[in-house]
Chain A
Amino acid sequence: MRLLRIVALIEGLSFLLLLFVAVPLKHLAGIAEPVLILGPLHGIAFLAYVRLVSRLAIEQDWPRRRALRLAAAGLIPFGALFALRSLPSE
């Protein structure tokens, strides 16, 4: 579960920085580099996050709704981190 929190943090943070810092920088200031770094990082983090949620859902026998909610939360900036708060603490 610790690993899930770490991956969710990277996923959420890279998404937030991409949307609210890197993309405005590219379109308003013409600075493209941040998007080129954060874009791929976020792509990998998102795939890793969905794969990890899928693994833990089976490994720990989660209710299907929880797995789907957590996976979908990855689509919202920081959604994954908020969704994680609804997990029972171990």
Chain B
Amino acid sequence: MPDYTLLKILHMTAAALVIIGVLLSSFTVAKPPAAARLASIRRWDRFVTGPALGAVWILGIIIGLSGNWFSSGWLPVKLVFVLILSALHGMQTGGMRRLAQGEAVPAFLRFSPYIALVSIAAIVLLASAKPF
């Protein structure tokens, strides 16, 4: 098993990419850009944000198990927000595909940046402060 600190650093690096990517996609579905820009954002989503999210899940579960964090209070609460962020990212990926096909996205995706903001803030606060 690789070093705990290394896995944690990789988890945080992948998390940084997820945060950037979800915010980028949030603004994209909230206020759709022109076709060329949409295409490059979709490529980023597919090749960077999506794989980074998968890596964050896997690395997070490994450090959660090896650090015995699943018996703490903050991790389950954080996972609720991880679930919300993951579902949001799924909706954004679907929404950007619709935009690329020239279709409209549901109006509530306008709230994407706010949902991302709240979930990201909650995740990072819980993971770093470990308040309970």
Asked if A44 CB lies within 8 Å of chain B CBs, one says yes
Instruction: Give the secondary structure class of B's interface.
Output: helix
**CB interface residues, A 56-75, toward B, < 8 Å:** 56-60, 71
Interface centre among A43, A52, A57, A58 (most CB of B within 10 A): A58
43-89 of chain B: CB within 8 A of chain A: 53-54, 57-58, 61-62, 65, 82-83, 86-89
Chain A at the B interface: SS class: helix
Check if A58 sits within 8 Å of B86, measured CB to CB: no
Flag the segment in B2-10, B93-101, B123-131 that touches A: B93-101
What is the CA–CA distance of A48 and B54 in the complex, to the nearest angstrom? 8
Asked whether, in the complex, the Cβ of A54 is within 8 Å of the Cβ of B91, the reply is yes
| Distance from B49 Cβ to chain A, minimum over Cβ atoms (Å) | 12
Instruction: Indicate whether A53 reaches chain B with its CB closer than 8 angstroms.
Output: yes
Please give, as numbers and ranges, the residues of chain A lying within 8 Å of B82 by CB-CB distance. Answer: 47
With a cutoff of 8 Å between Cβ atoms, the chain B residues found around residue A71 in the complex are 87
Chain B residues with a Cβ closer than 8 Å to the other chain, count: 23
A50 within 8 A of partner (CB): yes
Contact check: which of A36, A39, A43, A58 meets B94 at CB < 8 Å? A58
Asked whether B62 lies within 8 Å of A51 as measured between CB atoms, the reply is no
Interface residues of A (CB under 8 A from B): 36, 39-40, 43-44, 47-48, 50-60, 71
21 contacts between A and B (CB under 8 A): A40-B58, A40-B62, A44-B57, A47-B86, A48-B54, A50-B83, A51-B90, A54-B87, A54-B89, A54-B90, A55-B90, A55-B94, A56-B94, A57-B91, A57-B94, A58-B94, A58-B98, A58-B109, A59-B94, A59-B97, A60-B94
